[in-house]
Chains A and B, each alone.
Chain A
Amino acid sequence: MALSKKTLIHMYETMNRIRLFEQKLQEFFAAGEIPGFVHLYLGEEAVATGTCAALTDTDMITSTHRGHGHLLAKGGDLKLMMAEIFGRQTGYCKGKGGSMHIADMHLGILGANGIVGGGGPLAVGAALAAKYKKSDDVAVCFFGDGASNQGTTQEALNMASAWKLPLVFVNENNGYGISCPQCKSMAVVDIADRAAAYDMPGVVVDGNDVLAVHEAVTEAVKRARKGQGPSLVECKTYRWRGHFEGDACTYRCTEELEEWMAKDPLPRFEAKLLESKTLTKKEAENIKERIVADVEAAVAFAKESPMPPVSALMEDVYA
């Protein structure tokens, strides 16, 4: 697949933005500066990046509680995200949503979601709206291996297929539903096999290869835009951190983590770009330096922003 240099560089930037943003979150969470839960996406950057690079601004996504990567890949603003995660008034949700509920309707982000399997039906609605309005838009439902066992996900797969909705199900299979490994929670090895039950294409891709993800999702999006219905793309990946920050991760072994960290999607992609001379070492460094500065600016913005006033407590319950 011949991707333009612009697209490739954009994908490289996005992956680095997610990585550096989250590493900063990890640091601040450990320092006790972030309230609540934080579920990091480290190690899974290729999935969100490869997927969202196949989408337009008006295409819609539903996300999960591990949503930072999806949001950033869809164009989410670093400052507004950081401020929200710090619980500030200037955040995406005025400090009312936090990490698990960030949304940006202008970017088609129908929200991260605190409920495992919560996004499937909403994505059906988004895809239904696109079809109803006869727009060219598609919806993408990001969901994890844990969510694939929820009834809502199966209902959504079924309804999307029965109605030939422009919907792409992107399964992020990171091997664990919280602490429960896939082998204990389902009999199938490939979640993509379940697509057959709904008569839709189901493909397995290396979720740590951003180009492989992008190619598979682009194919699925094309199909969706042509009115041929939904697809399921299973991306095999791994989360480097625990389910949440602070999770001791006693349920998995260091060897497994090391094995996956050796498959880090970032250096893999960088090596490809260097090899094809799409990117020079110097350019790569410049990009990273710029993102480091952007993340620092986002942190400064968040920290300088006020907490929401208590007077906002009862606002926005109703329209």
Chain B
Amino acid sequence: MSEKTYLQALNEALRQEMERDPNVFILGEDVGQFGGCFGVTQGLFDTFGEERVMDTPITESTIVGAATGAAAAGLRPVAELMFVDFIGVAMDQLFNQAAKMRYMFGGKTTVPMTLRMPQGAGIGAAAQHSQSLESWFMNIPGLKVVIPSTPYDAKGLLISAIRDDNPVVFLEHKLLYGMTGEVPDESYTIEIGKADVKREGSDVTIVATSQMVYSALEAAERLKADGIEAEVVDPRCLQPLDKETILESVKKTHALVVANEAVSFAGPGAEIVALAAEEALEYLDAPVKRVGAPFCPVPFSPPLEQAYIPNADDIVAAVKSIR
């Protein structure tokens, strides 16, 4: 076990899976010598060569589609899009081809493809390079949606995603690449669809994903000073969603706040509060609250961008409004 960044954890997951299984390969824009837009694939080209770390033309549709076709033909591709925002270009190949192939073909095929995409605001990349689009993918039957927050989770979940026989959308957050944490050197898996309680508490459940987990933990520390013990639940995967862990926590704390960086309206939080309303309403002592981005594109200018991204203040305020 040693301290590693989220980026190093992802890189290690890729390297170990490529060493383990010759059918695993990488394709995407600038993933080769360049090492990936954010550096996740660094060094892999030198080890595995261009036959297994493939630089593609800038053609998102064909990156996703070729990964899908290769997966259906027996390989385990890991495709990278530089930014999740580019999935719009390739959406047909993801939601009409990869996600539906198995069902449409009556279960006669599997599509063991992993699609890694960085998302999130905070680096001044503006509206077309900063979105959080997880709710798009949650809404498509056939896809799995993984959204890790810690280096430990990132490595274990990426290994699980690569070994999974379904198309997995793996959402990384740009601001998390530099985050550090304890990560075992050896290969390990984390079950896809299993939430993690990042902090235990008795008074309110904060379900938070990706980079908002850190804001939720910060908020929890501040709430502690006011005598409120918050439980922070990180689903880690939005599809499948670990309903049990969320409901268990809500039944214990009797209050729920959901925090995500995606646009709040029709966002991932809507599903989680609906879950509580449908299955744990009688346990709730207060209205549920959602913390998420406002209904506008991500702005460029730093003060606007900071105002856009939900933070610990927003979570504290939400909790205090119900507790």
Contact residues, A302-319 vs B (CB, 8 A)? 315-319
* Docked-complex contact A125 and B107, CB < 8 angstroms: no
Interface code B155-180, partner A: CB below 8 Å = 1, 0 otherwise? Answer: 00000000011100000000000000
Q: Which single residue of chain B is at the shortest CB-CB distance from A154?
A: B59
Contact residues, A42-89 vs B (CB, 8 A)? 60, 62
Complex CA distance for A315 and B105, rounded to whole angstroms: 11
* Docked-complex contact A121 and B105, CB < 8 angstroms: no
Interface assignment of A211: CB less than 8 Å from any CB of chain B: no
A91-99, A183-191, A220-228 - interface stretch: A91-99
Complex CA distance for A115 and B74, rounded to whole angstroms: 23
Q: Tell which of B59, B67, B75, B102 touches A317, judged by Cβ atoms closer than 8 Å.
A: B102
Q: Which single residue of chain B is at the shortest CB-CB distance from A129?
A: B73
* Docked-complex contact A133 and B74, CB < 8 angstroms: yes
Q: Return chain A residues, CB-CB under 8 Å to B65.
A: 118, 120-122, 124-125, 152, 156
* Docked-complex contact A91 and B106, CB < 8 angstroms: yes
Are A93 and B104 also in contact (CB < 8 A) when A60-B73, A129-B70 are?
yes
Q: Tell which of A91, A103, A115, A121 touches B69, judged by Cβ atoms closer than 8 Å.
A: A121
Q: Which single residue of chain B is at the shortest CB-CB distance from A308?
A: B106
We find that the number of chain B residues with CB closer than 8 angstroms to chain A is: 42
Interface assignment of A151: CB less than 8 Å from any CB of chain B: yes
Could you count the A-B residue pairs with CB atoms below 8 Å apart for me: how many are there? 142
Complex CA distance for A62 and B66, rounded to whole angstroms: 12
- The listed residue with most A CB atoms (<10 A of its CB), out of B66, B77, B96, is B66
* Docked-complex contact A129 and B75, CB < 8 angstroms: yes
Q: Return chain A residues, CB-CB under 8 Å to B110.
A: 319
Complex CA distance for A118 and B59, rounded to whole angstroms: 14
Q: Which single residue of chain A is at the shortest CB-CB distance from B239?
A: A318
Q: Return chain A residues, CB-CB under 8 Å to B61.
A: 121, 151-152, 155
Interface assignment of A104: CB less than 8 Å from any CB of chain B: yes
Contact residues, A281-319 vs B (CB, 8 A)? 315-319
Q: Tell which of A103, A126, A155 touches B105, judged by Cβ atoms closer than 8 Å.
A: A103
Interface assignment of B57: CB less than 8 Å from any CB of chain A: yes
* Docked-complex contact B105 and A97, CB < 8 angstroms: yes
Complex CA distance for A201 and B269, rounded to whole angstroms: 53
Interface assignment of A147: CB less than 8 Å from any CB of chain B: no
Q: Which single residue of chain A is at the shortest CB-CB distance from B67?
A: A125
Complex CA distance for A111 and B100, rounded to whole angstroms: 11
We find that the number of chain A residues with CB closer than 8 angstroms to chain B is: 45
Complex CA distance for A199 and B97, rounded to whole angstroms: 28
Q: Return chain A residues, CB-CB under 8 Å to B96.
A: 114-115, 118
Q: Return chain B residues, CB-CB under 8 Å to A318.
A: 102, 142, 144, 166
* Docked-complex contact B25 and A132, CB < 8 angstroms: yes
A55 to chain B, nearest CB (A): 15
Q: Return chain B residues, CB-CB under 8 Å to A205.
A: none
A180 to chain B, nearest CB (A): 20
A239 to chain B, nearest CB (A): 24
- The listed residue with most B CB atoms (<10 A of its CB), out of A101, A110, A114, A121, is A121
Interface code B9-31, partner A: CB below 8 Å = 1, 0 otherwise? Answer: 00000000000000001000000
10 A-B pairs with the lowest CB-CB distances in the bound complex, closest first = A125-B69, A121-B65, A316-B107, A93-B106, A94-B106, A129-B73, A319-B165, A122-B69, A125-B70, A125-B66
A-B contact list, 25 entries, CB within 8 Å: A92-B106, A93-B106, A94-B106, A101-B104, A105-B108, A105-B109, A110-B69, A110-B72, A111-B105, A115-B96, A115-B97, A121-B65, A122-B66, A122-B93, A125-B66, A125-B67, A126-B72, A129-B73, A152-B92, A155-B61, A156-B65, A159-B62, A159-B66, A315-B107, A316-B103
Q: A96-B103, A151-B61 are in contact. List 11 more A-B contacts (CB 8 A).
A: A121-B62, A122-B66, A125-B70, A125-B77, A128-B75, A152-B93, A158-B57, A315-B107, A317-B103, A317-B142, A319-B164
